[in-house]
Amino acid sequence: MAQKNQPERKILIVYTGGTIGMVQDSATGALSPFRFEGLLEAMPGLKSLDISISSYCFPHLIDSSDMGPEGWVHIGKVIEENYDSYDGFVVLHGTDTMAYTASALSFMLENLAKPVILTGSQLPIGVLRSDGKANLVNALEMAASVDEEGRPKVREVCVCFGDSLFRGNRITKFSAESFTAFLSANFPALARVGVHVKWNPMLEQDARTLVREPFRVWKTLESHVLILKIHPGMTPSVLRSLLENTDLKGLVLGTYGSGNAPTSEAFVEALSVARTRRIPVLNVTQCAEGSVEMGKYAASTQLRDLGVVDGKDLTTEAAVTKMMYLLGKGLDYEAVCKALGQDLRGEMTCR
Ligand code: ASP
């Protein structure tokens, strides 16, 4: 994929942990992270790629269950410090929370004009049948790919996994079993990997990613937020007590179908505490595919009247990280609600 007349591309691998580099503890049988050199030893063929590869390793490799705002800022700082020295970045990360990290980075990396591609695997790279080797090679080659004018083909945060390159803030982990672990139900893949790599022409047409402002990393995130999936039988008093918790700064509400929720007076009254306390509430659907359309059913008009923001086709992962990012900017309630409903990084479809 790297074009012949182009100078060798320089890619920095940021290794955070995850199954891709794990080994089995002989005593307990549990998988735990392994050193980076072991990962490269398992792939001597990497040297034959037409890419200059360097690496940065987290001081403590983690299972991605332990990833969060602190880790996202750490990744962001590594990219910021090395931004001018590299043509692209490949982040090795566990699959469990990869969709959250990719979404968070998509907001935090402002005016990004280079590829940041996350990948990992379902089986450790040292295992013969591992999906890690193909995922890593594909991610590196995609990060090194350029268009006819020598610009990086990818100029956003993506996830390369299985046979696809996805926009990072559009995916959800849907399988703990399959090598195609991620689903991007509301947005097409940016590339498909088979015998050939088929790029989606939309990548080149996306003028938004031809940024002219200087790159910077936003590092303050508000983590006092909550995802709450409503369910039949949810007790309004429990909802009320959550909303009365003074630590709470933002709520992502997982609703039914096209954004519907109970209409009882008790439920509406409990939810109204959010507006009184100026806590932004973002409505996302519990369905894997499709969009919130507040006002389509009577069962969502009450939410609109309470100032709940229509999350359209946002994934839950993108919704909660967008909330953390906007609240972290120190914006007031009205400004956060307004920005939540706007497309900032291609994360939602606004018709
Ligand atoms: N528990 C692992 C992690 O997310 C799973 C994986 O990498 O696939 O770190």
Ordered by where they begin, the domains of the chain are 9-217 (3.40.50.1170), 225-340 (3.40.50.40)
**Amino acid 234: pLDDT:** 96
Name the residue of 95, 98, 177 whose CB sits within 8 Å of the most ligand 1 atoms, as the mutation to test its pocket: 95
* Phi/psi-derived region of residue 104, left when phi > 0, alpha when psi is between -120 and 50, beta in every other case: alpha
**Amino acid 44: pLDDT:** 79
Residue recorded with tokens 């039988």: 233
Distance in Å, CA 51 to ligand 1 centroid: 27
| SS3 assignment for 199-243 | ECCHHHHCHHHCCCCCCEECCCCCCCEEEEECCCCCCHHHHHHHH
Q: Which atom of ligand 1 is found nearest the CA of 20?
A: 7
**Ligand 1, CB within 6 Å, residue ranges:** 17-19, 63-65, 94-96, 120, 122
**Amino acid 2: pLDDT:** 44
CA distance 279 to 281: 6
Q: Is 19 a catalytic residue?
A: yes
Distance in Å, CA 233 to ligand 1 centroid: 33
**Amino acid 22: pLDDT:** 83
Nearest to 166 by CA among 204, 147, 145, 192: 192
Catalytic residue among 19, 255, 285, 315: 19
**Amino acid 259: pLDDT:** 96
Q: 10-residue block means of pLDDT along the chain (351 residues)?
A: 65 93 81 72 81 92 96 98 98 97 98 96 90 95 92 95 97 95 96 94 73 91 98 97 98 97 95 98 96 88 95 98 98 97 95 74
Contacts for 194 with CB less than 8 Å, ≥ 6 apart: 163
Contacts for 264 with CB less than 8 Å, ≥ 6 apart: 236
Q: Which atom of ligand 1 is found nearest the CA of 98?
A: 4
**Amino acid 97: pLDDT:** 98
**Amino acid 148: pLDDT:** 87
Distance in Å, CA 97 to ligand 1 centroid: 8
Strand-pairing partners, residue 14, are 56, 91
At 13, list the tokens. 């691998």
**Amino acid 41: pLDDT:** 74
